[in-house]
Amino acid sequence: MVKVWDGFVRGFHWLLVCGIAILYISGDEGWLDLHFVTGYVLLALMLTRIIWGCFGSSTARLASLFHSPKAVMNALLKDQPTTGHNPAGSVMVLVFFTLIFIQLLSGLMSSDDILIEGPLVQYVPYAWVELANDLHRDNIDLLLMAIGIHIGAIAFYRMKGKKLVKTLVTGYTTESADQPFMRSGKVAYIIFVVLSIGVLYLWGQEPLMALFNVG
Ligand code: HEM
Ligand code: HEM
């Protein structure tokens, strides 16, 4: 057994899945207090993942996600043992990070044109707010498409006998030969909690109080 995913990468993934589900439903239903609070926590989560991508375990590193087009094609065509994301999976991860940051940033500049606006709306010209609103509505379709392809790919690998979900839950695999460099995810969770408190303190007080009917 070789450990390939540290505790933070594993927790990050399932928190991300829950966060996106809550954001999708709350955005669609117009429950914007819940939407904003979840959006701020997700922003902290994504920022922590980027920080962890700079000095976390080797399989969490952002630098390990960049491969030549040839390596990506090879990974799609041939089954090669890899430690961490394979080159094709790495492209998927980069696409996810980009789409999620576009969704978060556009949300921060979006407004429902009645009462509620993202915290950056006051700092940018109105044309940007219109653009951000359109982006926020259209980018979600790309994100949903990426999620569909992602789940399809995981199911495809499962049919070929690779239990990637089990590995992402337990952190361990029998497929890799060499043990990658691992860091304890605890440090990343501390960064996540500190950033969440910071973002919620800065922008989240109103929606938090409205959500819990305080004041
Ligand atoms: C909202 C839906 C989802 C999003 C946005 C998402 C996003 C991601 C991201 C960003 C990663 C890379 C993790 C990292 O390096 O930090 C990843 C990996 C992974 N995801 Fe998801 N995911 C979603 C749903 C799911 C579901 C439902 C499953 C299970 C059926 C799943 C299974 C996996 C697996 C197994 C990996 C590791 C792939 C590998 O071994 O290279 N994901 N996902
Ligand atoms: C990954 C994160 C996010 C996802 C998946 C998401 C998703 C959505 C969805 C599905 C809608 C409904 C769009 C429609 O009416 O067609 C929506 C609306 C909205 N979102 Fe987000 N959102 C995210 C982050 C944020 C953030 C961080 C903010 C601001 C702090 C925000 C602010 C808004 C606003 C103001 C609306 C209402 C727009 C309107 O009524 O026209 N969102 N979002």
pLDDT in tens, 122-139: 999 999 999 999 999 999
Relative to the alpha carbon of 110, which ligand is closest? 2
pLDDT of 183 above 70: yes
Tokens, residue 71:
């390596």
> 150 alpha carbon to ligand 1 midpoint, in Å?
7
Q: Which amino acid is at 126?
A: Y
Mean pLDDT of 143-157: 97
Task: Please check whether residue 4 is in contact with residue 167, taking contact to mean a CB–CB distance below 8 angstroms.
Answer: yes
Rounded to an integer, what distance in angstroms lies between the CA atom of residue 77 and that of residue 87? 11
| Ligand 2, atom 33, residue with closest C-alpha | 107
| Whether the Cβ atoms of residue 12 and residue 47 lie closer than 8 Å to each other | no
The three-state secondary structure class of 75 is: helix
| CA atoms within 13 A of residue 109's CA, in its CB half-sphere | 19
Residue 215 has pLDDT above 70, yes or no: no
Domain architecture of the chain: domains with CATH: 2-211 (1.20.950.20)
Mind listing the pLDDT tens digit for each residue in 99-113?
A: 999 999 999 999 987
| Range 182-200 average pLDDT | 97
